[in-house]
Amino acid sequence: MLTQTSQADWLTRAKEVLPGGGFGNFDPSIFIRDGQGARVRDEDGNEFIDYLIGSGPMLLGHGHPEVLEAVYEQLPKGMTFFANNTAAIELAEAIVAAVPCAEQLRYVSSGGEADMYAIRAARAFTGRDKIVKFEGGYHGMSAEAQMSLAPTRRVNFPQAQPDSAGIPASVAAEMLIAPFNDFDYIRSLLAEHGDQVAGIIVEPLQRIVPPLPGFLQLLREEADKYGIVLIFDEVVTGFRFAWGGAQELYGVTPDLCTLGKVIGGGFPLAATAGRAEIMAHFDKSVVGAENWLMQLGTLSGNPVAAVAGLKTLEILQRDGQYDRLRSLGQQIIQMTQTALTSRDIPHQIVGDPTLFEVVFTQSEVRNYRDTIEGNAQAAALYNKVLRENGIFKSPGKTYPCLALTDDDLAITQTAIENAAQALSETL
């Protein structure tokens, strides 16, 4: 008789071979065994409604039959080639047709790589070095991106704080940090440094914080004024917010954008996309050796990821998909509002119906510093009770997916009510 290994045993084994016992992404004590639709099961057999969905990629849910069919068809033909393949060209054509700023793109394997290359492309195109980043904005793991991502102490803007060891002080000198949604500050910062700035990189929805009306348009105007490359990090929002991403939803077109998560259909795939004259720096025959931006990757444009992404986009383009996604998200928001408000628990639900979170505060949330002013103990208890009641999610984000059913929503509502009740008995 086979003995099932418990998650506790797996964690012990993991700690022998992995620093911290995990991959660096999520709670290492939980091991997901399988997923189907909007549900996942762990190695102890517990089932959850999945609002993490791989940190965003599984917008259609786990194991979508049409995506699986496309992958199964590709697998016997080859898993990777380090050469062009037609599926990746078709996917690129679909992305260019959908995303307003995209005239050309270059594939990579992760969103962090895409952001790194977007920053490098802005520098290559402008011949400048400085980059404007917003405090709390997440753009991957490059040295530039690890500046003022989650600073634990407050310093004066535009000083950059590294969030990781091993980053040279010289990197901080080239980064200018600004508060998100502060119109006056970005104007004053660029008035002083605009002629030195190569790029402004921004999440159109910064983690969960939406832009104030006109803020992204201001960035577009200021970038044009000073000849700066405006970069939208749409690794999360691309093909989630709308068919054309956040730039379509908000009506502001950047010069470059980065895409990931959804475009790979659950496989490692990302891209830097944008204006052809900027993307030309990836082509030595056009810009020459001195201006060439070298980029290559073993799995870039991987054919399995490409067919999964292509089928995912085909499904998303069908009538009613985005209306349904927003409706599902709005239902969960309403459940949460009702449960917390009826118990007089101070809170704000921040984000967009396709991606949101509760911040336990009475104050408006406009930037990173506002989010960390929320009641962290309340958030921890709320998420703990949700997990105990069958909800699998990040501590900081809720990702609805199109596979959610009425039964899933009913379980979700009960879990939210129980979590709100636990808070009311504690606060």
pLDDT in tens, 5-57: 899 999 999 999 999 999 999 999 999 999 999 999 999 999 999 999 999 99
Topology of domain 31-63+319-426 in CATH is: Aspartate Aminotransferase, domain 1 (3.90.1150)
pLDDT score recorded for residue 154: 87
For residue 340, give Cα distances in angstroms to 139, 358, 365: 32, 10, 17
Task: Tell which residue, 300, 104, 134, has the closest CA to residue 211.
Answer: 134
- Type and span of the H or E element at 49: strand 47-50
Task: Tell which residue, 257, 316, 208, 209, has the closest CA to residue 103.
Answer: 257
Q: Which listed residue (138, 250, 368, 382) is catalytic?
A: 138
pLDDT score recorded for residue 316: 98
Locus of tokens 């084994």: 13
Residue 15 annotated in active site:
no
**Angle ∠(321,243,210) on CA atoms, nearest 5:** 100
Strand segments (E) across 151-242: 175-178, 197-202, 229-233
Residue 250 annotated in active site:
no
Q: Which listed residue (261, 322, 382, 399) is catalytic?
A: 261
Q: Which listed residue (50, 182, 233, 255) is catalytic?
A: 233
Strand segments (E) across 109-252: 130-134, 175-178, 197-202, 229-233
Q: Is the pLDDT at 1 greater than 60, yes or no?
A: no
Please state which of the four CATH numbers 3.40.50.2000, 3.30.930.10, 3.30.70.1350, 3.40.640.10 is assigned to the domain occupying 65-316. 3.40.640.10
Domain ranges for the chain, please list them: 31-63+319-426, 65-316
Residue 138 annotated in active site:
yes
Q: What is the pLDDT of residues 284-303, one digit of tens each?
A: 999 999 999 999 999 999 99
pLDDT score recorded for residue 46: 96
When pLDDT is cut at 50, 70 and 90, the band that residue 427 belongs to is confident
